A and B are shown apart, each in its own frame.
Chain A
Amino acid sequence: MAGWGGLLEPLRYEFMLRGMAAAVLVGVVCAVIGCYVVLRSMAFMGDALAHAILPGVAVAYLLRGDLLVGALVAAVLVALGIGAISRGGLIKEDTAIGIFFAAALALGVFLMSTARTFAVDLTHILFGDVLGVSVSDLWLMAGLGALVLAAIAVLYKPFLLISFDTVLAATLRWPVELLRAAMLVLLALTIVVSLQTVGVGLVAAMLVTPAATAQLLTRRLPTMMLIAALIGAFSGLAGLYLSYYLNVASGAAIVLVATLLFALAYLFAPQRGILWRRASQA
Chain B
Amino acid sequence: MSFEDGASAHLALEHVTVRYHRRAAPALEDVTVEIAGGAHVAVVGPNGAGKSTLFKALVGLLPVAEGRLRVHGAPPGANKACAAYVPQREDVDWNFPVTVFDVVMMGRYGRLGWLKPAGRADREVVWRSLEQVGMASLARRAIGELSGGQQQRVFLARALAQQPHLLIMDEPFTGVDAGTQQAILDLLDELKQAGVTALISTHDLRLAASRFERVMLLNRRLIAYGAPDKVFTPVRLADAFGGQVLMLPDGAWVVDQCCPPPAHRVLEEA
Contact = CB atoms under 8 A, between A and B. Distances in A.
Contacts of B103: 164
Contacts of B142: 219-220
A172 B96 contact: no
A154 interface: yes
B77 interface: yes
Interface stretch (A12-20, A115-123, A155-163): A155-163
A154 B115 contact: yes
Contacts of A165: 87, 92, 106
Contacts of A220: 97-99, 102, 142
A170 B93 CA distance: 17
Nearest to A219: B142
Given A158-B114, A168-B85, A173 B77 contact: yes
Nearest to B114: A158
Contact of B109 (A39, A161, A218, A219): A161
Interface string B74-100: 000100100101010001110011110
A174 B114 contact: yes
Contact of A171 (B61, B98, B99, B115): B61
B172 to A, nearest CB: 15
A228 B19 CA distance: 43
B110 interface: yes
Given A167-B87, A173-B77, A39 B96 contact: yes
A224 interface: yes
B59 interface: yes
B101 to A, nearest CB: 9
Interface string A124-157: 0000000000000000000000000000001101
Interface of A: 39, 154-155, 157-158, 160-161, 163-165, 167-168, 170-174, 215, 218-221, 223-224
Q: Which 3 A-B pairs have the closest CB atoms?
A: A219-B142, A171-B59, A172-B110
Interface of B: 59-61, 77, 80, 83, 85, 87, 91-93, 96-99, 102-103, 106, 109-110, 112, 114-115, 141-142, 144-145
19 contacts: A39-B93, A39-B96, A154-B115, A155-B114, A158-B114, A160-B106, A165-B87, A168-B109, A170-B61, A171-B61, A171-B77, A172-B80, A172-B109, A174-B114, A219-B141, A219-B145, A220-B102, A220-B142, A221-B98
